[in-house]
Amino acid sequence: MRNAFVTGLILGILSGTWLFIMRSFGYNSTGNHVSPVEYLSLLIPFCGVYFGVKRYRDDDKQGEIGFFDALFQSFRILLIGGLFACLAGIVYINYFDMASNLFAFSGRLFGGLVIGILICLGVSAALMNKSSKLN
């Protein structure tokens, strides 16, 4: 659980920082359109989950991990990272971008949840190496 917390904390801090970096470059979360540079933010959860599960597999599981064990670890990482990212989003909307529409921002958070689930499935399938058991 320590690995998931540390990796999730780093993931949440980087995701929250991304909001403020995008704002400093003039991008905001108003409207339904997404600028192409915002798609770079997908690298943050992908790299965080990949390296977090890989470290968990190599250090805690002695190099052997099944699909469901990797999936649960990746969900833990995203859950912790998502909590910190949501806290950063609340601070962002309440204090820095008050003109932002809460509905549009929550829609982006839901989109991030769907993308995060797809990332978890992909990373778990890529890093599993114990296919004889379901565990």
The rounded distance, in Å, linking the Cα atoms of 90 and 92 is: 5
Closest to 49 (Cα-Cα) out of 109, 111, 121, 102: 121
At residue 46, the pLDDT reads 92
The residues spanned by each domain of the chain are 2-25+39-127
At residue 48, the pLDDT reads 92
Over the range 68-95, which residues count as b (16 or more CB within 10 Å of their CB) and which as e?
ebbbebbbbbbebbbebbbebbeebbee
At residue 77, the pLDDT reads 94
At residue 47, the pLDDT reads 92
How confident is the model over 74-97, as pLDDT tens digits?
A: 999 999 998 998 888 888 777 776
Cβ atoms within 10 Å of 128's Cβ, excluding its own: 18
Would the pTM of this model clear 0.85, i.e. be above it?
no
Amino acid symbol at 124? S
Q: Which residues of the chain have pLDDT under 70?
A: 28-34, 97-104, 131-135
